[in-house]
Amino acid sequence: MLKRMVSIMLFLLLMAPAASARTINEIDLPETLTYDNITLGLNGGGTRVAFFNDVYVAGIYLQEAMTDQDKIINADEPMAIRMHIKNDFFASSKHVTKALHKGFRGSMPKGDITPIKNEVDRFNACFADKITDDEEFDIVYIPNKGTAVYKDGVLKDNIPGYDFKKAVFAIWLGKRPADKKLKKGMLAGDFRVAISKITVAKAAQEAKAKAEAAAKTKAAEAAKIAAAEQAKAEEAAAAMKAAQEAKAKAEVAAKAQEAARMKAMAQAKAREKAKVAAEAEKRAAQAMALEAQAKKAALAPKPAPKPATVASSATSVTEAQVVGEDLLFGFNSAKLSAKAEKLLARKVEWLKANPDKKVTIQVFCDTSGSRVYNEYLAGKRAKSVVKGLAAAGISKDRIEVLGFEFAKSRRAHFTVK
């Protein structure tokens, strides 16, 4: 910090404006500036305009009045340009560095900045920090030292080279200037104060007063920014606290919702269990009734068997009998009855006599009960039939089981393939 303050004070002592100033577009530019004990006079100035907006006011300072652009560009003597920012939107760091890069291309032969690329990068870096209204940039060339850039009196960098100096001043005074009206104003050759009469001491006092005012302004801005940051921090803390409270409430609500869901699931399971138990009880009663009917029907005379059609030479069982004689099941039962086992034995006899044949089994259930329950019951019935065939020596690869269907009777139907 001490080193920086010493640099600023030395700059103020070596570079200070005269008492009088020239007003250009509401901005006061000093009639003279002093660098390294060399006093320069305001040759002329104007306003840089972009998209109908005033961007900055600039003036060029020379040792003597000049109106020849080439003479100024090529002169290896002290000179300077001061830029006073008026619109920090169009004079933002991004816009300024882009415009300067374009200006360097316009000042170099065929737009090739390769020979001075490193110098251009260093020069543009001087404008990389945030730029605000009423800030001032001084671009100062001193022979054998180089082109220096100051921001509000603070040295940003000093780039050596006479050829680079020519490229810099050609940005404003060359054949493709940044602003034609600004160029014309800079070439006015209008010296209004005798340079020899300006004292360095008085200029230093005015520069010091200006620096102090700028320092106060920056301090006020810093305090304002600090207050805003404090307010943001308090708002963030309050928001975090509110978020934590909301999270806690949400967790309580989520736990209550989960408890309610578990309770509802338990109630649903209880209802389903009761429903299944009721259905099983009902079907058991129906089974008992049907069993009584079956016993009664067993006492009735049996119809004469149908004559055989096509029979294998090795068995008297026909294919028509295999297909036509379905295996019947009791109500809510997957067990093969004695009659069903006899019919299954006949089908086994035929399958053994016809080893190249295969069968498909279609299980039918009555319409009582739910589809889910009947699918389960049909699977058990099909399993009983397949188990009986396999136990009798029929390979399972000759058996195909189809899905169940609803029908009036409970049976397993065979089809020959």
Most confident residue range from 81-85, 106-110, 289-293, 328-332: 81-85
**Domains, the chain, ordered by start:** 2-213 (3.50.70.10), 319-416 (3.30.1330.60)
CB 58 within 8 A of CB 182: yes
Comparison of pLDDT for 307 and 264, the residue scoring more: 264
Tell me, letter by letter, the H, E, C secondary structure of 3-36: HHHHHHHHHHHHCCCCCCEEEECCEEEECEEEEC
Query: What pLDDT shows up at residue 205?
Result: 63
Q: Which residues of 307-323 are buried (b: 16+ CB within 10 A; e: fewer)?
A: eeeeeeeebebbbebbe
- Between CA 145 and CA 273 the distance in angstroms is 99
- Which residue has better confidence, 292 or 127? 127
Rounded-to-5 percentages of helix, strand, coil across the chain:
50, 20, 30
Average pLDDT, the chain: 87
Helix (H, G, I), strand (E, B) or coil at 169: helix
**Residues facing 28 on adjacent strands:** 23
- Specify which residues 159 forms β-bridges with: 147
Q: Could you give the CA distance from residue 46 to residue 44 in angstroms, rounded to a whole number? A: 7
User: Which sign does the torsion angle of CA 11, 13, 14, 17 carry?
Assistant: positive
Reported as a pLDDT band with limits 50, 70 and 90, residue 87 is very high
Contact (Cβ atoms closer than 8 angstroms) between residue 204 and residue 16: yes
Say what the pLDDT of residue 4 is: 53
Task: Say what percent of the chain tops pLDDT 90.
Answer: 67
Interval 343-370: pLDDT, tens: 999 999 999 999 999 999 999 998 888 8
The burial of 325, by beta-carbon neighbours within 10 Å (0-12 exposed, 13-18 middle, 19 or more buried), is given as buried
Tokens representing 146 are 């180089």
pTM of the complete model beyond 0.95: no
Q: How far apart are CA 329 and CA 365, in angstroms?
A: 9
What does the chain come to in residues?
Answer: 417
- Arithmetic mean of pLDDT, 37-54: 94
Q: Give me the pLDDT at residue 91, please.
A: 83
DSSP string, 29-91: EESEEEETTEEEEEEEEEEEEETTEEEEEEEEEESS----HHHHHH--S-EEEEEEES-TTTT
What pLDDT, on a 0 to 100 scale, did the predictor assign at position 130? 94
Closest C-alpha to 400, from 375, 378, 417, 376: 417
| Sequence-distant (≥ 6) Cβ neighbours of residue 119 within 8 angstroms | 159, 161, 164
pLDDT tens digits, one per residue of 301-342: 665 554 444 444 478 999 999 998 999 999 999 999 999 999
pLDDT at 206: 64
More confident residue, 104 or 8: 104
Tokens of 117: 């690329």
CA angle 330, 336, 342 (to 5 degrees): 120
Reported as a single tens digit per residue, the pLDDT across 144-184 is 999 999 999 999 999 999 999 999 999 999 999 999 999 99
Helices (H), 65-179: 69-74, 93-107, 117-125, 162-173
Mean per-residue pLDDT, 391-404: 91
Distance between start and end Cα atoms, the chain = 102
Q: Which of 360, 347, 357, 341 is nearest to 315 (CA)?
A: 347
Residue type, 335: K
Rounded Cα gap, residues 291 and 38, in angstroms: 129
pLDDT of residue 16 exceeding 50: no
The β-bridge partners of 84 are: 57, 136
Question: Tell me: the pLDDT tens digits for 224-250?
Answer: 999 999 999 999 999 999 999 999 999
Q: Is the pLDDT of residue 201 over 80?
A: no
Query: Does residue 138 contact residue 154 with C-beta atoms inside 8 Å?
Result: no
- The packing angle between helices 162-173 and 93-107, to 10°, is 110
